[in-house]
Amino acid sequence: MKEDKPPYQFGTATNGLHSPNHAACDNKKGRQMTKPEQPRITGTCLCGAVSFEVASAFDKLFFCSCDQCRQITGSAFASNLFVGAEGFVWLTGTAEIVRYQVPARDISKSFCRVCGSGVPWASSDGTKMIVPAGILKEPAQVAERIRIFASELPKWASDLEHVPMHAKFPRPTGS
């Protein structure tokens, strides 16, 4: 059964800009009624069904390697950006979003039901959006990067600076 509403409410890119009677638009500069905003960037899930736009400047990026974030991402740590909810707008695909709430914890996972990509979700008080950094399509400006729950980082993901690095696949050896 398909839900008409996303699990939480947000504006869309096409509403909220104009009052119904367009009274505020009746000036010579037309669209200048909107406040000047900081640059915005977009993000999409892998299949493209879910997309959003967000202010490009973030205060914090958390790399979290707690047990739950590792299971949720299937990787060594989650990479989550935090932004005020007013700086975020869905563009498409909210009906495709599924959210799993970890019982009794303030941790959840939102993902695209088509491709499984992690997508943004709202904080429990609704004031912030948490954006998985990997789904942004353009560079974000991040003021501060922080690693948390380092005590739960598995051994296989420690000392990454000492792991051999290749620009793409490693060259075949012995030929």
Q: Which residues sit at the interface with Zn ion, rule CB under 5 A?
A: 45, 47, 49, 64, 66, 69, 112, 114-115
Q: Closest approach of Cβ 12 to Zn ion, in Å?
A: 18
Shortest Å distance, C-beta 123 to Zn ion: 14
- Find the shortest distance in angstroms from Cβ 71 to Zn ion: 10
| Residue 102 CB neighbours (<10 A) | 12
Of 49 and 131, nearer to Zn ion (C-beta) is 49
CA dihedral 50, 62, 40, 123 (to 10 degrees): 60
Which CB, 32 or 100, lies closer to Zn ion? Answer: 100
Question: Which positions ≥6 away from 75 have C-beta within 8 Å?
Answer: none
Please, which residue, 25 or 108, has the CB nearer to Zn ion? 108
Residues 6+ apart with CB under 8 A from 164: 170
Q: Which neighbouring-strand residues pair with 98?
A: 111
